[in-house]
A and B are shown apart, each in its own frame.
Chain A
Amino acid sequence: MLAIVALPALAQQDTAAYQLRSVEVFGKPAEVYAAGSRVTTIDSAYRQTYNSSSLADALQARTPVYFKSYGVSGLSSVSFRGTNASQTVVLWNGLNIGLPTLGQSDFSTLPLSGFGDIAVQSGSAGAAYGSGAIGGAVLLSSPNYNGKGFGLELQQEAGSFGRYFSNGNINYSSGKLQLGLGAYLRNAENDFTYKDLSRFGKPKRTEEHAAQKQYGFTQNLNWQLAANTKIGLHGWYTFADRELQPAMGSASGAEQLDKNLRLMTQLEHESDWGKTDVKLAYFKDFLNYTNSSLNSVADVQTYQLQTEQTYTKGENWSLRGGVNLQHFIAENDGYAGTKQENRAAVFALFRYDPTETLDLSLNLRQAFVEDYNPAPTPALGFNWKFYQHEQHQLFLKGNVSGSYRVPTLNDRFWTGAGNPDLKPEQGWSEEAGLRHLFIVGNTLLLETEATAYHMLIDDWIQWAPNPTGLWRPVNLQKVRAMGIELSHQLTATIGNLKLTGSAGYTYTSSEQVEVYEGQGDKGNQLMYVPLHKGVLATGINYKNWQLHTDLNYTGERYTTNSETSHLDSFILVNVALSKQLQFRKSRLVVAFRSDNITNEVYLTMAYHAMPLRGYTLSLRFLIP
């Protein structure tokens, strides 16, 4: 909601490396079948300034999503609209990349660099994106290289706490062929100082167990075989070797190694029958967790096939039907031998614009999973421009959507734990919103939006000990999440000066409304869901200078479901100043930034220290 939507008329100036996909007839790809939903993108100016950070950092700074991070090097798990970490999906080019063992993604290992577009869809989107899209969906897509010729980008960054980041991208584009290669390396000692709350007198200590090394490669090839046929080959590899930062006062020594390979090929073909889109993917996710007593390995291979047929009639309606097939081969220390599972889903997505001012979408999905077949998942949404006068436009929007989450491979296959009585989680959400646009030619864009939502999630899966003491997944509770999201965005151009600003506020109430046999904490706010979160971002461009500030206010969060202990609210401010130097066609961008410039002591996860003020200097060279 808070990211600046880069409208074509006001696109960011630095479009060489990444550019938003061209606007299609019905809007951006993610929005076509999502009428009435909030789909926002992380703006390119932010991404260029902070491309050494993780997706977790970016979404924390820019969106209403809350992340709890186990320190600077540990797992970052997401809470979107009051839901838990496995109730938000991450899709890469339309395919779910969450770890099938745990059913969630660790956003600290996902880089911000290497993508074309990063969009966030708020709210249930189970019909469009399948299992897990209850609180929302994060949509990553590979970049498109527009224009012809070579492009090159080289970047080196150095910062406080022994942090270094190197990044390089090269791309070539002829009319028919687009090829891009990218690589990054991030090394961080993370030897920041913090006050150790667990010791006498809260002494200052230096973090000694949070170092990490991450690197990754991306490869993208798009080849226009014929006027109506295109193939794409995309590869993405990420590597993360991390010391896991312990809580203050807890034993140290855990480490985690993640290796994730994602390969996909895509065929797009246009015919009288519409557009055929076939995606075939292979993912290999390796995770090795070690501590003084344990060496645990999970190694999962996923094959995915998704075929879609999209028929579009003029500017009036569009229908997409598709099938998604998944095959998992999982090895895990907790499983008895290698386990395999097949899942399938069929879906139909329909977009209908009966008039120029009304957009409707109707989606339906049915998933098939061995033993755990979820109910059909529908979604119905509308977006109605009911008022337009001079520079003002007013929209009313809303949707009702279902969502589901099937049990993870751990829920199914963990030795002694697999529970055949387990039901998939089911969610229902409704939302409604008002959007106001004020546009003055190419000089001013003011967008204001208010949304209210209500969501019920039933059969929430949780691990709990049964009467014999064995831990098993069970459908423990029913949770209700309700909230309000407000956002305001401004883009103004005054001569050489360009101003951007965005402000957002979210109120999230998420509580258990039904619990299991006298257990649980009915009626209390769920742990690690802030009631209040606000973000404020400003950008000033003057000639070749840019100044960006980001402010993130996160309210109190309870750290148990009993509301008996909490983390204090915090305000984080990041500031970045950059200057672009032009050398004929190539450019050098010198950027200096300070994260947590006000030296705020804050925690996103109890007792996991976070760094105080840090500085970073970045040099980025771009051709052309």
Chain B
Amino acid sequence: MKRTLLRGFYTAALLLTSTFAFTSCDETEDVSPDINNSKVRGLYDQKGVFILNEGNFGTPNGSISFLSDSTGHQVKNNIFSTANEQRPLGDVVQSMVLHDTLAYIVANNSNKIEVVHAFTFKTIAVIEGLKQPRFFAALDGNKGYVTEWVAYGSTGRVSVIDLKTNAVLKTITVGEMPEQLLIVNGKLYVTNSGGNTISVINTTTDAVASTVPTADGPSELVQGKDQYIWVLSAGKVVYKDDWSGIDYTKTTPGSLSKLNTATSAIDATFTFPGNQSIPKNLTINGLGDKLYFNYENKTFMQPVTAGGLSNTVIINRGFYGMEADPETGNIFGSDNNNFSGDGTVFIYNSDGVKLKEFKAGIGPNGFVFN
């Protein structure tokens, strides 16, 4: 019911704001890698960040932007369309994973993954027939996994992809609304965000080995330097019986937990103080000693050693999408501009000092560092 309501709400919001749009090929400044270097394999064979712009729900205008680290370069938008004869990327670009020389781009409402060459962004294959795919992870050069909601309110699944043929080998039933996934030591951890469990899948047998109970709404995973996985749970939103609003006496708050990969058990859970705001955008720096997340429209920094939730606000706002650069520790955040126009990307240093801001595509929701 909750999801029906939420979905209905989004539909209505979409109808109301009619913020559907289309991305074409308006060029910004070209990105030019060092072409004298014989190892350069394409425009994007250089340090920088890919910005995922999800686009408008119902329209395949999701896109990817690239910002080169080298000085003097501006963001280059629509790099997928530019590399693929102006073909649009897809409807709701949810996530992207770089693996070896390939990038896997999950287009949620196009029910597909575009497999592109990571240095040119030319498409190599399209994995189709998925049902509301969300996140992808590659085990090695042979096998990958994608979480799929299938449908609201129904059991989700993980599809096993043969990365040589890009065909679906098998589907594994997990919990409701599986979100982020992480492979650690041959085990695949899948957050079942519609419930309160993490499914642990044996990547040799591709079967669920165990199910770890968590707080309500686990949805994000980051890997620490030690054997821990940090789990961000959103909590569970409960509506009043008469649907007049959220019932805050039953709504559960979000939480941050430590999953011990050695024992597949939650070792500690830090519960957020209130249930009025949903924590999100968990990310970790390259050193693995600082976590960042958004809560109550602020950005918090949490040392991994802390024994409770941190009060350290480093940026006095929240973001639509946020990620820490593993190399520099800089924090990249985005504003979606209500999806009616191009969204904005902000870059802060690890102390929360703003370094830069610029426009990207429609609804920037994530960053992948190259």
- Taking Cβ atoms with an 8 Å cutoff, the residues of A that contact B are 68, 75, 77, 84-85, 102, 197-200, 202, 246-251, 289, 292-296, 333-337, 410, 414-417, 462-465, 467-469, 471, 473, 476, 519-521, 524, 527-528, 559-562, 564-567, 605-607
Contact = CB atoms under 8 A, between A and B. Distances in A.
A561 B341 contact: yes
Given A77-B18, A606-B20, A606-B59, A524 B5 contact: no
Given A200-B123, A565-B23, A85 B109 contact: no
B8 A333 contact: yes
B340 A337 contact: no
Nearest to A603: B22
- 7 smallest A-B Cβ distances: which pairs? A606-B22, A336-B244, A249-B60, A561-B341, A562-B341, A336-B243, A559-B22
A210 B338 CA distance: 29
B176 to A, nearest CB: 12
A294 B245 contact: no
B344 to A, nearest CB: 9
Contacts of B296: 467-468
Interface in B1-58: 3-5, 7-9, 11-13, 15-24, 26, 58
Contacts of A295: 4
Contacts of A416: 245-246
B9 A334 contact: yes
B88 interface: yes
B334 interface: no
Contacts of B246: 416
A251 B109 contact: yes
Contacts of A289: 11
A498 B156 CA distance: 67
Contacts of B22: 559-560, 565-567, 606-607
Interface residues of B, number: 62
Contacts of B287: none
Given A251-B111, A294-B7, A607-B60, A524 B243 contact: no
B109 A250 contact: yes
Contacts of A468: 276-278, 296-297
Contacts of B110: 198, 249-251
Given A198-B87, A334-B12, A527-B340, A560 B318 contact: no
B338 A464 contact: yes
B342 A564 contact: yes
21 contacts: A85-B18, A248-B88, A249-B110, A250-B58, A250-B60, A250-B91, A251-B110, A293-B151, A293-B152, A334-B5, A336-B242, A336-B243, A337-B242, A463-B13, A463-B16, A469-B277, A520-B340, A559-B22, A562-B337, A565-B21, A565-B61
Nearest to B57: A250
A428 B315 CA distance: 41
Contact of A562 (B12, B239, B240, B359): B359
Given A293-B7, A296-B8, A560 B244 contact: no
A465 B320 CA distance: 10
A564 B5 contact: no
Interface string B72-89: 000001000000001110
B323 interface: no
Nearest to B24: A565
B interface majority secondary structure:
loop
B12 A410 contact: yes
A249 B337 contact: no
Given A198-B60, A468-B296, A565 B26 contact: yes
A462 B13 CA distance: 9
B277 A560 contact: no
Contact of A333 (B4, B18, B245): B4
Interface string B126-151: 10000010000000000000000001
B153 interface: yes
A415 B153 contact: no
B90 interface: yes
B244 A292 contact: no
A201 to B, nearest CB: 8
A486 to B, nearest CB: 28
Contacts of B17: 462-463
Contacts of A337: 242-244
B335 interface: yes
A565 B132 CA distance: 26
Contact of A102 (B4, B16, B337): B16
Contacts of A247: 20, 58-60, 91
A619 to B, nearest CB: 38
B201 interface: no
B362 interface: yes
Interface in B139-183: 151-153
A528 B20 CA distance: 10
